[in-house]
Amino acid sequence: MSCILVTGSKGQLGSEIAKISKDYPAFDFIFIDREEMPLEDTEEIISFLNKTAPNLIISAGAYTAVDRAENEKDLADQINHLAVATISKWCAANGAKLIHISTDYIFDGTSEIPYKESDVSAPINWYGETKLRGERAIEHNLIDAVIIRTSWVYSEYGNNFVKTMLRLMRERESIAVVNDQIGTPTYALDLAKAIMKIIESNKWESGVFHYSNEGEISWYDFAFAINELSSLNCAVNGVATDQFPTIAKRPNYSLLDKSKIKKTYDVIIPDWRDSLKECLQILKN
């Protein structure tokens, strides 16, 4: 039986993979978080991997606090870059495959058409920089790696935009949401299923792939839909990014071109609104 190790098991993606893992009895899953394998400790990473000897690692654990990363630069780099370098070196030395999750934040957001995998990367915040360093470490160390860049992840688990909006919309009569940052949300359950489709496929094509749900919206559009589909009576007002300053800059445009993953692995990607409805139904129940 093939052993799959999933890092970041308490995060959104790790939790969704754990939820559907029972549907894949051909694999032996090991789910770990920072308690079992602290990503800030290189020796602990190597020790744990030697002990468990997985055939494939899904690297979903990451430092994702985008604003806090500007002040915790060493920690963010350790988790998003140096830990990933260690994992990829171990995979290369032990004949294991790697699926690593990266981000749209490796781009500067100045494009006007969806980003392809081959487009030039130029992060505008430290989180994006550390994720790009992690990608480059993998590409340097390991041939058998699939890197999946994704964007605007949400789910029934953890902290995310959907759950924050639901809370605010119940507490307030009106909220303001930026309307000039364009992209597409990613329902973590959809991404989890796409990852398992790649693993189950009889072909393994390494490289960088993009995945998010289908569509093109702003954060305002996303919030408006959450309000509407949840039948809440909160007024959602669109504002420009400069009215909503954050510590870390965000890309204004981070739409991802998904044609490569669809063509290579026959991945069917749901529309963002259909996936949002599904998640909201789960949260309601």
Q: pLDDT averaged over the chain?
A: 97
Alpha carbon 29 to chain centroid, angstroms: 20
Residue 186: is its pLDDT beyond 70? yes
Domain of residue 83: give its range. Answer: 2-160+186-214+255-270
Mean pLDDT across the stretch 269-282?
A: 98
Q: Would residue 156 count as lying in a domain? A: yes
Q: Would residue 243 count as lying in a domain? A: no
Indicate which residue of 127, 220, 253, 265 is catalytic.
127
List, for residues 111-155, the tens digit of each pLDDT value.
Answer: 999 999 999 999 999 999 999 999 999 999 999 899 999 999 999
Q: Would residue 19 count as lying in a domain? A: yes
Q: Would residue 144 count as lying in a domain? A: yes
pLDDT category at 67 given cuts 50, 70, 90 is very high
Q: Total domain count for the chain?
A: 1
Residue 244: is its pLDDT beyond 90? no
The pLDDT score that the predictor gives to residue 202 is 82
Q: What is the CATH number of the domain that holds 80?
A: 3.40.50.720
Is 187 an active-site residue?
A: no
Residue 1: is its pLDDT beyond 80? no
Q: Would residue 75 count as lying in a domain? A: yes
The pLDDT score that the predictor gives to residue 47 is 97
Q: Would residue 259 count as lying in a domain? A: yes
Q: Would residue 244 count as lying in a domain? A: no
Q: Would residue 276 count as lying in a domain? A: no
